Homo-oligomer: A and B are copies of this chain.
Amino acid sequence: MLYYEGEFDTQEIDLVCVEEGYRCLVSEHAGGLVGYSDLPQSSLVLCDEITSSLLTETALVETIAVVGIGGSTLGIKAIDRLLRSTTPHAKKIVYFENSDPVSIAEETAQLNYEKTLFIVISKSGGTVETLSIFKHLIATFNIPLQDSKQIIIVSDDGSILSQFADHYSIKRFVIPSNVGGRFSVLSAVGVVPLLLAGFDVAAILRGAHSFGERFWDRQEDHLLHKAAFYVANAKNHPINVLFSYSDRFEEFGKWVVQLWGESLGKKNQEGERVGLTPISLIGSVDQHSFLQLIIEGPLNKTVTFMSVKHSNETLMIPEMNLPFLEKSDFVNGKSFDTLINAQCHATMQSVAQSGVSVDEIIWESVDEVSVGEMILYYELLTSASGALLEIDTYNQPGVELGKQILQTYFNH
């Protein structure tokens, strides 16, 4: 269960924009152009398929090594971190992402090859980091490819990586062609590794599905209000901060940053550069780092505060009076949950008083259903904002030039 509260009331919001946002999303999704909101239902089939076959086949696996980068890992890492502490028996997932030799060597050295399942994920199938690391792993462990039971491929149907998988009769899963990489966490991209690791993926999908149903039924219009507010204020408030009060949101924040930044940073139909810059912070830690800038720096930011009412961890601050440290006794006998939530709300109040626009998302607890809800919430928020910015939310033409330049460095 999630609660949303914000300043995006009808006085500030252009209701024409709200309707326009809704209309665009309906048209995108009904036309089949954009497929991510179908995933909560279609991936249930995938869950059944995996549960009835692969789950027993991979029972002896101890570690899942995900080889991928960007949209192929950020969502998995977000869910892994959010639900790890309440899913203690889940298998370990390690991530081979960056072309950083130090990380690759360290992670490789820690693998117990015999007990590892490699899941190679690339939507296009041609990601240079992913394929280079995959080759390194094949060479290091001398992995046999033909009919390999230790490799799973997740990619677009017909991609070069999918063709490679078919050539060697390696098990593969398809990312629907109308689902972009950064919107793909509820497709095979997230479902395959998370389900095989032991997470309750079906419950995540149910949460996402129910949020989607409510949204299409106009019961979650606050999301459209927020998008309309952000877009109307994009010039004055070009930076959107997500301030999450739990360490478990670290990777979720990175997932939001990709979704928001890469979807909305675009040239619009007039060729004008538009976009909103996402920043993810963790409270209370970043009260001691970034808060000063929010409170007294330029008024160019909005802040969304995210907190967890009940963390499932009942740790208390002891009733302990230490000489000279009486100053901190005001929290004695309270739970750390109470402290961190009070810090969240005190900070939100001080930020709002400084003139910064804030809103709030409260998680009753971090459970599978809420995780699913929140994923669809941010995906729909991004789509609505993109529609109102009049851009193509789903492409990323700006990153191509760097890839071309990279090739020229090696072609001589």
Q: How far is the CA of A406 from the CA of B406 in the complex (A)?
A: 51
- Judged by a CB distance under 8 angstroms, whether A174 is at the interface is no
Taken residue by residue from 234 to 262, chain A's Cβ proximity to chain B (1 for < 8 Å, 0 otherwise) reads as 00001100000111100000100110011
Which of A54-62, A200-208, A219-227, A392-400 is the interface stretch? A392-400
Taken residue by residue from 270 to 294, chain A's Cβ proximity to chain B (1 for < 8 Å, 0 otherwise) reads as 0001110101001111011111111
- Judged by a CB distance under 8 angstroms, whether A169 is at the interface is no
Taken residue by residue from 338 to 349, chain A's Cβ proximity to chain B (1 for < 8 Å, 0 otherwise) reads as 011011011101
Q: How far is the CA of A360 from the CA of B343 in the complex (A)?
A: 38
Whether A403 pairs with B336 at a CB distance below 8 angstroms is: no
- Judged by a CB distance under 8 angstroms, whether A2 is at the interface is no
Whether B285 pairs with A262 at a CB distance below 8 angstroms is: no
- Judged by a CB distance under 8 angstroms, whether A304 is at the interface is no
In the complex, residue of chain B having the shortest beta-carbon distance to the beta carbon of A248: B102
* Among B160, B274, B292, B311, contact of A327 (Cβ-Cβ < 8 Å): B160
* Among B129, B161, B336, B401, contact of A99 (Cβ-Cβ < 8 Å): B336
Interface residues of A in 140-177 (CB under 8 A from B): 160-161, 163-164, 167
Minimum Cβ distance to chain B for residue A92 (Å): 15
In the complex, residue of chain B having the shortest beta-carbon distance to the beta carbon of A164: B324
Instruction: List, in ascending order, chain B residues with CB within 8 A of A70's CB.
Output: 285, 287-289
Instruction: List, in ascending order, chain B residues with CB within 8 A of A138's CB.
Output: 318, 320, 322
| Residue among A104, A167, A239, A289 with the highest chain B CB neighbour number at 10 A | A289
Q: How far is the CA of A266 from the CA of B330 in the complex (A)?
A: 30
Consensus secondary structure, chain A interface: helix
- Judged by a CB distance under 8 angstroms, whether A126 is at the interface is yes
In the complex, residue of chain B having the shortest beta-carbon distance to the beta carbon of A339: B99
Whether B71 pairs with A247 at a CB distance below 8 angstroms is: no
Which of A186-194, A295-303, A377-385 is the interface stretch? A295-303
Number of copies: 2
- Judged by a CB distance under 8 angstroms, whether A323 is at the interface is yes
- Judged by a CB distance under 8 angstroms, whether A10 is at the interface is no
Minimum Cβ distance to chain B for residue A77 (Å): 11
Whether A323 pairs with B293 at a CB distance below 8 angstroms is: no
- Using a CB–CB cutoff of 8 Å, the interface residues on chain A facing chain B are 69-71, 74, 85, 97-106, 125-126, 128-129, 131-132, 135-136, 138-139, 160-161, 163-164, 167, 181, 238-239, 245-248, 254, 257-258, 261-262, 264-267, 273-275, 277, 279, 282-285, 287-301, 311-318, 320, 322-325, 327-328, 330-332, 334-337, 339-340, 342-343, 345-347, 349-351, 353-354, 396-399, 401-403, 405-407, 409-411
Q: How far is the CA of A406 from the CA of B288 in the complex (A)?
A: 15
Minimum Cβ distance to chain B for residue A390 (Å): 14
| Residue among A71, A101, A334 with the highest chain B CB neighbour number at 10 A | A101
Whether A262 pairs with B346 at a CB distance below 8 angstroms is: no
19 A-B pairs whose Cβ atoms sit less than 8 Å apart in the complex: A98-B284, A98-B340, A99-B339, A99-B340, A101-B340, A103-B247, A131-B327, A132-B336, A135-B328, A136-B315, A136-B336, A138-B322, A262-B291, A273-B298, A275-B297, A295-B398, A345-B409, A350-B402, A350-B405
